[in-house]
Amino acid sequence: MEKIIVCIKGVPKPGTVKVDPETHTLKRESMELILNPNDRPALEMAIRLKEKYGAEITVISMGPSNIIPLLKQAYALGIDQMILLSDRAFAGADTLATSYVLARAIEKLSPFSIVLMGLKSIDGETAQVPSETAGLLGLPSLINIKELKKEDDKWIAIRENEYGEEEIEVESSLLASVSPQAFDYLRPPSLKRLIEVKEKEPLIWTASDIQAEPEKLGLKGSPTQVVDVFEKKLEMKGTILEGEPQELVEKFIEVLKEKEIIKI
Amino acid sequence: MLIYPLTDDQKLLLDLIKQIGEEYIKPYALEWDEKEIYDEKPIKALAHADLFGIIIPEEYGGLGWGSFEMCLAVEYLSYYCAGVSTTYAASFLGCYPILLFGNKEQKAKYLPFIATGKKLCAFALTEPQAGSDAFAIKTTAKKEGDYYILNGMKQWITNGGIADIYIVIAMTDPAKGARGASAFIVEKDDPGFSIGKKEKKLGLRASVTTELFFNDCKIPRDRLLAREGMGFIVALKTLDYARCGAGAQALGIAQAAMEVALKHATSRVQFGQPIYNFQAVSHTFAEMAMKIEAARALVYNVAKYIDSGAKDFSGASSMAKCLATDTAMWVTERAIQMMGGYGYMRDYPVQKYFRDAKCLQIYEGTNEIQKNVIARELLKYYK
């Protein structure tokens, strides 16, 4: 049976976020957590693969215990096993330190066939974790796919780019991030599973469970330093040239020359 | 305003319906109504959410709940769109005959598919000349060897064409009158069975209503439900159970209409103040709230009465259906009036609620027929 791993993330519910003016980090206590909306297509793809080929799906997420309800939401959609990666040492992780923890956990779950993630989180929006995790695991990294199917022993992934569609063939295990537009229908949770999951708890893995090297974890393992958080304001200055057409063209050419856009 | 004590699982049910309503229905309901289109996505979502299995026993893949939970689901779904809830509730109408009268093989064959929403149901009794006078049906079923051959037509059948399983009432022995009817399970691909035109409706426009045609429609003998001659018993018992659901639909529509109008009345300023400050307006809302709560109390109590194992509840379920649907008609009409011109515009949903509510006074037995039932039961009770 195929084994599929889906990584999900808890993100602040839009509208509940406040930034600490001193540290420039998110005030996590005041915000409400929701499942990253971009992770739902990844969960949907995993469940459709399970329906088509038969598979066991494990969902993993890194964070404190307030992530548990989100793992349970994933369970109610049709996932089989929940794992929470939780350790004080993981706190303050940037995308690299996060990818390191995910990669260690995924390795512990091997053998597996597919790792799926959302394209990007709606808070960080870096879209770096899928590629970094794939890099750390030495897996083919397929970004922004909309379809995944099996042909003989190969996986065929389809993704859209600006020129059309490309088809990618992979013979080994792979890691893919799923396009937010992959499906026009995402299933809701099942009531039976919602009732069932009330009695279930996720497995909790700490740094030692995944044999992580301490210096690669959390703040220590994060090369990214947040210096400031601010809203970027774009100001566009317009100039209106006036005069007769002939005159205008000459003036305009002068402007282009000044700005070194053209050289005559 | 009244908060009913619910179990944890019933609360999960309501949260799930609200989630489905917000995500799969609310953004599209006015468009479905305007264009009169059936969208299968909310139905697919209800299926994935296990909500077609509410009344089906666990051994057949359902949740094993009762009428009360069915009413909760239908009420909250109707709050978002009564067209969607009609497709949903009509499937229960088609499922009850199998649940109540099916033999083991029939239950094992059909119920698991119904519970998972993989197959939708429809219930076909009405014919052009047989509406309130249901006994006047002309569709016949003639036994030939191991088969029945059905001929005739059905009219105004909810889920016609989108359902896979049809419960059809037909005359097996016309000479015996009401005792000569039988109930059959017809599958959508049965030879000689076809779907007629899709009706254009005043309301419930997100649901599908069609004619059904039986032209030497040949079905195996084991599709007979119960025994020959029990057709109307199957039909009437089914309607006794399902009527509560029509009452629940009315509650959801009325609640939605009151809320939309209330929001308008508290923010719309005329003569320098919100119109809610005028007694003619605020008292209308007080009356809406009273009537809705009274109807809800009756519907919930009748549903719980059925779930308690009551044998005879025709009168009770007729009361729930009649009172709640009349309430919805009154509330939705007043909701339009409270919003004035805004209420009349198709950009706002109250006119849809009004049109949707109208059908509820007509289908699953007109409210006049409900009063006949109540009056008849009253004499039995006080004989």
Give Cα separations from B124 to B6, B68, B94, B167, B185 (angstroms).
Answer: 34, 24, 8, 6, 10
Which pLDDT tens digit goes with each residue over B179-237? 999 999 999 999 999 999 999 999 999 999 999 999 999 999 999 999 999 999 999 99
- Rounded to the nearest angstrom, the gap between the alpha carbon of residue B167 and the centroid of all alpha carbons in its chain is 15
pLDDT given for residue B376 in this prediction: 96
Helix (H, G, I), strand (E, B) or coil at B36: coil
B51: burial class by Cβ within 10 Å (0-12, 13-18, 19+)?
A: buried
Domain ranges of chain B: 8-119, 122-230, 232-381
Closest to A190 (Cβ–Cβ): which among B19, B41, B49?
B49
In chain B, the percentage of residues whose pLDDT exceeds 70 is 100
Q: Do A190 and B19 touch (CB under 8 A)?
A: no
- Is residue B256 within 8 A of residue B79, CB to CB? The reply is yes
In this structure, whether the domain defined by B8-119 belongs to CATH 3.40.50.20 is answered with no
- Is residue B54 within 8 A of residue B73, CB to CB? The reply is yes
Which pLDDT tens digit goes with each residue over A27-77? 766 788 999 999 999 999 999 999 999 999 999 999 999 999 999 999 999
pLDDT given for residue B259 in this prediction: 98
**Please, which residues have CB within 8 angstroms of residue B106's CB and are 6 or more apart in sequence?**
B98, B185, B222, B225
Residue in A78, A38, A112 with CA at minimum distance from that of residue A188: A78
Superfamily of domain B122-230: Butyryl-CoA Dehydrogenase, subunit A, domain 2 (2.40.110.10)
Closest to B16 (Cβ–Cβ): which among A185, A191, A198?
A191
Closest to B48 (Cβ–Cβ): which among A190, A195, A198?
A190
For residues B174 and A42, what is the distance between their CA atoms, to the nearest angstrom?
A: 59
Put simply, whether A190 touches B (Cβ < 8 Å) is yes
Domain ranges of chain A: 2-216
Inter-axis angle of helices B67-80 and B231-267, nearest 10: 40
- Nearest CA distance, A190 vs chain B (angstrom): 4
CA closest to A44 among chain B residues = B48
Residue B124, beta-bridge partner list = B168
What letter does residue A32 receive in the DSSP assignment?
A: P
For residues A260 and A255, what is the distance between their CA atoms, to the nearest angstrom?
A: 9
- Is residue B197 within 8 A of residue B87, CB to CB? The reply is no
In this structure, whether the domain defined by A2-216 belongs to CATH 1.20.1070.10 is answered with no
Half-sphere CA count of B331, side-chain side, radius 13 A? 33
**Please, which residues have CB within 8 angstroms of residue A53's CB and are 6 or more apart in sequence?**
A2, A150
**B42 pLDDT exceeds 90?**
yes
Determine the average pLDDT of the residues in B140-164.
Answer: 97
A187 interaction partners in chain B (CB closer than 8 Å):
44-45, 48
In chain B, the percentage of residues whose pLDDT exceeds 90 is 99
Which CATH architecture group holds B232-381?
A: Up-down Bundle (1.20)
In chain A, the percentage of residues whose pLDDT exceeds 70 is 99
pLDDT given for residue A85 in this prediction: 97
Q: DSSP 3-state helix, strand, coil percentages of chain B (rounded to 5)?
A: 60, 15, 25
- Is residue B164 within 8 A of residue B187, CB to CB? The reply is yes
pLDDT given for residue B100 in this prediction: 97
Number of H helices, E strands in chain A: 6, 11
**B319 pLDDT exceeds 90?**
yes
What letter does residue B60 receive in the DSSP assignment?
A: G
Which pLDDT tens digit goes with each residue over B103-125? 999 999 999 999 999 999 999 99
Number of H helices, E strands in chain B: 12, 10
Put simply, whether A37 touches B (Cβ < 8 Å) is no
Put simply, whether B18 touches A (Cβ < 8 Å) is no
Put simply, whether A236 touches B (Cβ < 8 Å) is no
Helix (H, G, I), strand (E, B) or coil at B158: strand
Mutate to test the interface with B, among A190, A191, A195, A197 (most CBs of B within 10 A): A191
For residues B193 and B190, what is the distance between their CA atoms, to the nearest angstrom?
A: 6
pLDDT band at B17 (very low <50, low <70, confident <90, very high): very high
Report yes or no for ipTM above 0.85: yes
Q: Do A187 and B45 touch (CB under 8 A)?
A: yes
- B34 a catalytic residue: no
B16 interaction partners in chain A (CB closer than 8 Å):
188-189, 191, 194
